[in-house]
Amino acid sequence: MNKADMKVYRERLIALRARLRGDVDNLANATLKKSRSEANGDLSSMPIHMADIGSDNFEQEFSLSLMESEEGIIGRIEQAMERIEEGTYGQCEECGVRIPKARLNAIPYTTLCVKCAADSEQG
Ligand SMILES: [Zn+2]
């Protein structure tokens, strides 16, 4: 992966982290305001939806990954950013193959190729 690509993914990671942090705040706020919002039918305090980040694929993968805590994902984003600094971003942590861009576009903070991710999910 060249430096220009790295820069693109770094910016995505930063944007994603900012959004997740915002969502964590929004969720906290939403919980606090919940009873009032429900009474008013006010949806403006709902967490920001993900539609504008990217593809359907991204959304699917992202919803799956939401089973992890947002803090956990933020940690992985920061790891990925360190890997960009080291120049190892985009390589599978497990087997060392290049992770396809389609996958990085879907989950920019992933550190495993599809095969290794599937293996680790199966235990
Ligand atoms: Zn792998």
- Give the distance (Å) from ligand 1 centre to CA of residue 14: 24
**pLDDT at residue number 70:** 78
Whose CA is closest to 93, among 70, 75, 76?
Answer: 76
Sorted by sequence, the CB contacts under 8 Å of residue 105 that are 6+ apart come out as: 54, 55, 57, 58
Instruction: For the chain, give every domain's residue range.
Output: 3-121
Q: What is the mean pLDDT of the chain?
A: 78
List pLDDT tens digits, range 62-103. 554 555 677 888 999 999 999 999 999 999 999 999 999 999
- Report every protein residue that has its C-beta within 5 angstroms of ion ligand 1: 92, 94-95, 113, 116
**pLDDT at residue number 122:** 78
Question: Is the pLDDT score of 5 beyond 60?
Answer: yes
- Give the distance (Å) from ligand 1 centre to CA of residue 64: 20
Question: Is the pLDDT score of 59 beyond 70?
Answer: no
pTM: 0.62
Cα separation, 54 vs 117, whole angstroms? 21
CATH topology of domain 3-121: Four Helix Bundle (Hemerythrin (Met), subunit A) (1.20.120)
- Give the distance (Å) from ligand 1 centre to CA of residue 25: 34
List pLDDT tens digits, range 9-45. 999 999 999 988 887 677 667 666 655 555 555 555 4
